[in-house]
């Protein structure tokens, strides 16, 4: 607690001492760089010393109004140009520009014409992060991104989302991104050359996030990145074009994508986790590339399948034993149970080291088949420690649903298994850990009110 004498030291002519102004300019600029640009600029009225401090900030975040109109657009452009004219920082660490709204094609062209000089100016100030998001209701409204973005050697993160037209690439020599570690792009058919060259030109890239809006059938996308640790690929259509193919050479990868159409040049040696969402289409063109995908992920430790696990199980079970891949490191398998997902058993090649299995959205439509599938897995996965089963939330329309949940718990929890079983249904929650002397304490949910009971 301060004494009166100590408090007197902070009082000068009845006014408390301004401790903030006692800080050095470099520290004040760092603080101002953390503020919104309008808040930082507002400090210019505090005193003569503060008047130009904000012009040295190193982070610029420019957000367009949520409900834009043409007058707002003109005001926004004028404001940004006024700000950039006053910024004196020799280095801009982070530049963010976000626009979400509806613009006509002509308005988009005007905005793009204004934005290109902004980006060029920022690129001359050695930025480390550039993030531009332009989301317009019209797919034909795209802003043009200048070439300089891909020549700025200081960049560590590039994020370009939605309606952005990347530069036309006449050759790979224009790409100079030796320090880039994170890349997030939204690409279209028109970016064909970029899709084929860019991902071979980033020596220390660690994080690649691709959103692809493709309609052409013959894309060949090559990803060669020795330090890539995370790859996420999202197709904006229901599924990728039939003949779209990826070639991936990334030995340190975590992989998250949808589809089958991936060929691994070398199987990643540090593949910790793969998340797949497989296509509904079972035509030959879609199923033919499966071997390239499977052979590339056999070293994975955690495999999550969000959709159509039945396609994968059917493919594996139809292989000759001599051609059967071995998931030598797989310890955790998780998947959503589609209608026909459990008609094919988990093959032995996936069971050898499996210690945890998550079965989500169990239907119990073909009750006997699904029970047999789980029994087969429990009997053949000798190292399995944990089985987690959750029921499909839409199953309550089945008049026998409650009885099926009851029968499931009665059948499985009264038998002796080597692993722990956790069950979460619409009416019952139970764990084999609560089995005592042949009696199971579980939780019955009645009108969302938990009640303890015995099975």
Please tell me the distance from the alpha carbon of residue 219 to that of residue 215, in angstroms, as a whole number: 9
Distances (CA, A) of 274 to 138, 144, 211, 247, 260: 34, 34, 17, 16, 13
- Greatest Cα pair distance in the chain: 92
Domain assignment present for residue 193? The answer is no
Residue 332 in this model has a pLDDT that exceeds 90: yes
Q: Is the pLDDT confidence value at 259 over 60?
A: no
Counting Cα atoms < 13 Å in the Cβ hemisphere of 182 gives 10
Lowest mean pLDDT among 177-191, 211-225, 258-272, 385-399: 258-272
Q: How far apart are CA 91 and CA 122, in angstroms?
A: 9
Residue 396 domain-assigned?
yes
Q: How many distinct helices (H) and strands (E) make up the chain? A: 11, 25
Residue 322: give the domain boundaries: 309-455
Is 224 part of any domain?
Answer: no
Per the prediction, the chain carries an average pLDDT of 77
**Which has the minimum average pLDDT: 164-168, 190-194, 257-261, 354-358?**
257-261
What is the average pLDDT across 419-423? 86
What is the pLDDT, as a whole number, of residue 354? Answer: 93
Percent of the chain with pLDDT over 70: 77
Q: Report, as an integer, the average pLDDT of 139-144.
A: 71
pLDDT, residue 93, reads: 94
pLDDT at 126: 93
pLDDT over 90 percentage in the chain: 13
Q: Look at residues 92, 214, 198 and name the one whose alpha carbon lies nearest to residue 151.
A: 198
pTM of the model: 0.72
For 297-309, the pLDDT digits (tens) are 888 889 888 777 7
Residue with tokens 């409900």: 67
CA–CA distances in Å: residue 260 to residues 233, 263, 315, 330, 334: 12, 9, 12, 19, 18
Q: Where are the beta strands (DSSP E) in 146-253?
A: 157-162, 164-165, 182-188, 207-213, 220-224, 230-235, 245-249
The pLDDT, as a whole number, for residue 340 is 65
pLDDT at 137: 59
Q: Is there a domain that residue 285 lies in? A: no
- Give pLDDT tens digits for 268-297: 777 788 887 766 655 444 455 577 778 778
3-state secondary structure of 17: coil
For 403-412, how does the pLDDT look when each residue is reduced to its tens digit (9 = 90+)? 778 777 777 7
The answer to whether residue 379 sits within a structural domain is yes
Spatial contact of 189 and 163, defined as CB atoms under 8 Å apart: no
pLDDT of residue 210: 86
> Is a pLDDT exceeding 80 seen at residue 53?
yes
Q: Would you state the pLDDT for residue 383?
A: 92
Contact 291, 310 (CB under 8 A): no
**Which pairing describes strands 157-162 and 164-165: parallel, antiparallel, or unpaired?**
unpaired
Q: Within a domain: residue 363?
A: yes
Mean pLDDT is highest, among 199-213, 229-243, 407-421, for 199-213
Whether the predicted pLDDT of 180 surpasses 90: yes
Measured distance CA(337)–CA(309) in Å, rounded: 7
The distance of Cα 179 from the centroid of its chain, to the nearest Å, equals: 22
Instruction: Report whether 18 contacts 43 (CB < 8 A).
Output: no
Domain presence at residue 226: no
pLDDT of residue 237: 67
Total domains present in the chain: 1
| Residue 51 pLDDT exceeds 90 | no
- Tell whether 28 is covered by a domain: no
296-324 residues labelled b (16+ CB within 10 A) or e (exposed): bbbbbbbbbbebbbbbbbbbbeeeeeeee
Q: Would you give the distance in Å from CA 363 to the centre of its chain?
A: 28
- 65: confidence class by pLDDT, cuts 50, 70, 90: low
The predicted-structure confidence for 85-137, as pLDDT tens digits, reads as follows 999 988 999 999 887 766 677 777 777 888 889 999 999 999 999 998 887 65
pLDDT of residue 152: 92
Residue 439's pLDDT is: 63
């Amino acid at each position: 607690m301060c004494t009166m004498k100590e408090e007197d030291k902070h009082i000068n002519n009845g006014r408390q001492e301004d401790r903030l102004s006692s800080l050095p300019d470099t520290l004040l600029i760092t603080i101002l760089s953390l503020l919104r640009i309008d808040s930082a600029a507002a400090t210019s009225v505090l005193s003569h010393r503060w008047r130009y401090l904000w012009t040295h900030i190193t982070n610029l975040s420019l957000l367009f109004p949520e409900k834009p109109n043409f007058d707002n657009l003109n005001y926004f452009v004028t404001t940004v140009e006024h700000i950039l004219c006053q910024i004196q920082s020799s280095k801009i660490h982070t530049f963010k520009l976000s626009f979400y709204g509806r613009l006509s094609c002509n308005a988009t062209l005007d905005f793009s014409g204004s934005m290109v000089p902004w980006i060029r100016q920022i690129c001359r100030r050695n930025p480390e992060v550039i993030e531009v998001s332009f989301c317009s209701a019209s797919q034909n409204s795209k802003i043009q991104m200048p070439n300089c973005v891909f020549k700025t050697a200081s960049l560590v993160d590039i994020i370009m989302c939605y309606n952005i037209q990347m530069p036309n690439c006449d050759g790979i020599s224009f790409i100079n991104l030796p320090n880039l570690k994170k890349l997030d792009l939204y690409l279209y058919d028109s970016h064909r050359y970029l899709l084929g060259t860019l991902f071979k030109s980033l020596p220390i890239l660690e994080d690649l996030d691709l959103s692809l809006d493709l309609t052409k059938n013959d894309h060949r996308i090559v990803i060669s990145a020795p330090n890539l640790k995370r790859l996420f690929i999202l197709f904006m259509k229901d599924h990728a074009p039939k003949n779209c193919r990826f070639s991936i050479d990334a030995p340190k990868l975590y992989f998250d994508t949808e589809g089958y159409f991936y060929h691994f040049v070398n199987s990643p040696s540090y593949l910790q986790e793969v998340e797949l969402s497989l296509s509904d289409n079972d035509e030959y063109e879609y199923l033919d590339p499966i071997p390239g995908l499977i052979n590339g992920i056999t070293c994975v430790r955690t495999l999550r399948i969000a959709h159509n696990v039945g396609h994968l199980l059917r493919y594996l079970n139809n292989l000759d034993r001599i051609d059967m891949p071995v998931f030598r490191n797989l310890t955790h398998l998780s998947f959503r149970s589609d209608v026909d997902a459990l008609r094919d058993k988990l093959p032995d090649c996936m069971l050898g080291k499996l210690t945890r299995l998550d079965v989500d959205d169990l239907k119990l439509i073909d009750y006997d088949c699904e029970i047999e599938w789980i029994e087969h897995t429990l009997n053949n996965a000798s190292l399995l420690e944990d089985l987690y089963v959750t029921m499909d939330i839409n199953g309550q329309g089945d008049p026998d649903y409650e009885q099926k949940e009851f029968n499931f718990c009665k059948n499985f929890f009264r038998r002796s298994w080597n692993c722990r079983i956790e069950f979460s249904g619409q009416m019952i929650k139970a764990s084999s850990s609560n089995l005592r002397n042949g009696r199971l304490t579980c939780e019955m949910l009645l009108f969302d009110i938990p009640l303890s009971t015995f099975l």
